[in-house]
Amino acid sequence: MNIILLGPPGAGKGTQAQRLVAERGMVQLSTGDMLRAAVKAGTPTGLKAKAVMEAGELVSDEIVSGIIGEALDKLSPETGVIFDGYPRTAPQAESLDALLGERGRQLDHVIELEVDEDALVDRITGRYTCATCGAGYHDRYKQPKVAGVCDTCGGTEFKRRPDDNEETVRTRMAEYRAKTAPILPIYEARGIVSRVDGMADIDAVAAAIGDILGG
């Protein structure tokens, strides 16, 4: 099974992808996470991406489709994939079709997380992650069970993203509206789009996604 989680910044793509990884053994391919890893490692891709990401703009289609292709090549054919934050433009959607086709995969579901934009700034500015394992938290909506200790790995160091400030979030939302939302009709024409109320609480969103995926 190969699925796309689509939605604006802060919609809950990463949160729900982590649930699917834990509950269904799927693999999450987040271009945002992969680019942040490249920035941290100081690779040539990371050097190109850093300023673009900090401004909230989109990294080039060639770079992101390249890293998705490389990531797919590391997976066994039967592993289910969750695309989180990719594709984000019409050329990326076209590349994804080619990348999947070349590997004998097909796209089963595109799940759009529908959210109220006013809530997104609040979600994003309150977000932090475990510095050790990357598990995601929120100052109010998802706190660790024991304060200061990661539920998943027991780590005690947490970090915040440099692009998680209000000004950059507004640019990221504008990029989503202008370049990403317009790719939905491509998938609607194939009859594979489902919509989920992303304003519901995290468990309810996960249950709705589970209903769509079945089994």
Q: Which of 19, 50, 109, 172 binds ligand AP5 (CB under 6 A)?
A: 172
**For residue 127, what are the β-bridge partners?**
138
CB of 176 to Mg ion, least distance (A): 12
**Which region, judged by CB under 6 A, interacts with ligand AP5, from 5-13, 70-78, 104-112, 183-191?**
5-13
Yes or no: say if 88 and 180 are a contact pair by the CB < 8 Å rule. yes
Identify the CA nearest to 175 among candidates 50, 95, 89, 71: 89
- Indicate if 172 belongs to the active site: yes
Site for ligand AP5 in 143-162 (CB under 6 A): none
Check residue 88 for interaction with ligand AP5 (CB under 6 A): yes
- Indicate if 13 belongs to the active site: yes
Check residue 14 for interaction with ligand AP5 (CB under 6 A): yes
Check residue 14 for interaction with Mg ion (CB under 5 A): yes
Give the list of residues 6+ apart from residue 88 with CB closer than 8 angstroms, or none: 31, 58, 64, 175, 176, 179, 180, 183
Nearest residue relative to ligand AP5 (C-beta): 32
- Indicate if 145 belongs to the active site: no
> How many Å apart are CA 202 and CA 93, to the nearest integer?
27
> How many Å apart are CA 57 and CA 50, to the nearest integer?
10
What does the CA dihedral 181, 187, 193, 199 come to, rounded to 10 degrees? -10
Q: Which of 48, 103, 142, 170 binds ligand AP5 (CB under 6 A)?
A: 142
Site for ligand AP5 in 53-72 (CB under 6 A): 53, 56-59, 64
> How many Å apart are CA 7 and CA 50, to the nearest integer?
22
Among residues 50, 88, 105, 123, the one annotated as catalytic is 88
Phi-psi region of 85 (alpha: psi -120 to 50; beta: other; left: phi over 0): left
CB of 11 to Mg ion, least distance (A): 9
> How many Å apart are CA 61 and CA 51, to the nearest integer?
16
Letters for 17-56 (x = contact with ligand AP5 by CB under 6 A, - = none) are --------------xx--x----------------xx--x
> How many Å apart are CA 82 and CA 5, to the nearest integer?
7
Nearer to ligand AP5, 1 or 35 (CB): 35
Residues in touch with ligand AP5 (CB under 6 A): 7, 9-15, 31-32, 35, 52-53, 56-59, 64, 85-86, 88, 92, 123-124, 126-127, 136-138, 141-142, 172, 198, 201-202, 205
Which residues does the annotation mark as catalytic? Answer: 13, 88, 127, 161, 172
